[in-house]
Amino acid sequence: MRIIFFAGKGGVGKTSVAAATGVRAADQGCRTLIMSLDVAHSLADIFDLDRGLLDQGRGRPVKVHPNLWIQELDIQEEINRNWGDIHHYLAGLLNTTGLNEVLAEELAVLPGMEEVSLLLYINQYVRQRRFDALLLDCAPTGESLRFISIPTTLEWYMKKLFKLERTIVRCARPLAKRLTDVPLPGEDYFNALERLFSRLEGVDRILSDPAVTTVRLVTNPEKVVIKETQRAFMYFYLYRMSIDAVILNRLLPSGIREEFFSDWLTSQGRYADLARGYFHPVPVLPVNLFKGEILGSERLAALAAELYAERNPLERFFEEEPYRLTKENGRYRLQLKLPFVVKESIDLSKVSDELILRIGSYKRHILLPKPLVSVKTVAARVDPPYLNILFGGIDS
């Protein structure tokens, strides 16, 4: 099984590149599923399928080509399939707070439900071996980072808070009943959460296993887009995902002679060089701007031909682990690859068995292996492109 995320800023060409990769992989004989992680689905549009504006195939995989399926989640269908008791409790809660029943049903969708449903599918498909490749067409950067942070956040919640919350609620229920009409979650709610969590088990390992999962960042040769790509590059590493290519989309073909485009040609050339420097040694794959919109399998195959040439699109183009734990002179060092990170933006603390690392607006809880739990002091040192976390103080 091979899993590839296509991520990047809004509008850079993620869906087109994911779809093109799917067409190419399917042509090679791999059973390939492209899943849309974006609530504003546009996969079906890019395949130019003849179907209704709001038709999402009931959120199931739809075959679009021999060996190729697309899947666009439908949150209402997912609620019926996966979120029954949890949704029921939330809707009841909103209802007692004064919302009418229909509205409460509608609003009882928690942020993250759709993403967790997707993780459930990923886990299920990997176990069933129903597909050889899963290609994930991501939402714009911020949301896709939230998506990949969900497994660690959930693991943390289940380990640290779930049991406590359940016990508190159990103890408080008789009292709360006398004092207020607002219902506390019942055992059904907690059981449902527990079941859901057990179905997610292992998904974090799949996503952080570089032999299975890699990220391809799609970008354009423009300053603002490249800046966002640099941040995404760092944050994906923070969440332990391997990046195996940067796709530089929409380059103006160099043959264009029109006066109007000359500034664009110069600045694109400059940013393309910068991008190669920034992301080295991860390969940067260029794609020219096409003459028209890229719609339908044939045009997508042309995009794939330009992007991958003779290469197998499912190959790992670059291999390096984002994290490495080593021991030197009796002291442990956790080395994280975090290019572009600056010391001032790092906030590090250790609480019993976990390390809390905050970089900019993203925070990650790293559960530590046993030998590190008892070490009292931790220190960070930036050695570009690495962040070294030293257990037991800084080296002299």
Ligand X SMILES: Nc1ncnc2c1ncn2[C@@H]1O[C@H](COP(=O)(O)OP(=O)(O)OP(=O)(O)O)[C@@H](O)[C@H]1O
**Residues of this chain that bind ligand X (CB under 6 A):** 10-16, 38, 42, 140, 249-250, 287, 289-290, 293-294
Helix axes 262-279, 223-238, angle to 10 degrees: 20
Strands 331-337 and 323-328: antiparallel
* Residue number, 95 or 219, with CB nearest to ligand X: 219
Query: CB under 5 to 8 A by kind: which of Mg ion, ligand X, none does 250 bind?
Result: ligand X
- Please state the closest distance from residue 290 (CB atom) to ligand X, in A: 3
Subset of 10-39 contacting Mg ion (CB under 5 A): 14-15
Residue found under tokens 């103890």 = 171
* Residue number, 34 or 116, with CB nearest to ligand X: 34
Burial of 252 (0-12, 13-18, 19+ CB in 10 A): middle
Q: Does 220 bind Mg ion (CB under 5 A)?
A: no
Query: CB under 5 to 8 A by kind: which of ligand X, Mg ion, none does 335 bind?
Result: none
Query: CB under 5 to 8 A by kind: which of ligand X, Mg ion, none does 375 bind?
Result: none
Helix axes 75-82, 113-128, angle to 10 degrees: 70
- Please state the closest distance from residue 307 (CB atom) to ligand X, in A: 9
- HSE of 54, CA atoms in CB hemisphere, 13 A: 1
- Please state the closest distance from residue 18 (CB atom) to Mg ion, in A: 8
Name the residue type at position 65: H
Query: How many residues of this chain bind Mg ion (CB under 5 A)?
Result: 2
Q: Where are the alpha helices (DSSP H) in 201-346?
A: 203-207, 223-238, 262-279, 296-308
What binding mask, one character per residue, do residues 172-191 give for Mg ion by CB under 5 A, x or -? --------------------
- Please state the closest distance from residue 107 (CB atom) to ligand X, in A: 26
The secondary element (H helix, E strand) that includes residue 366 is: strand 362-367
Query: CB under 5 to 8 A by kind: which of ligand X, Mg ion, none does 70 bind?
Result: none
Q: CA-CA distance, 241 to 317, in Å (whole number)?
A: 14
- Please state the closest distance from residue 221 (CB atom) to ligand X, in A: 11
CA 62 to chain centre: 22
Measured at the CA of 62, the angle between CA 60 and CA 65, to 5 degrees, comes to 160
Query: CB under 5 to 8 A by kind: which of ligand X, Mg ion, none does 290 bind?
Result: ligand X
* Residue number, 38 or 244, with CB nearest to ligand X: 38
Residues that bind Mg ion (CB under 5 A): 14-15
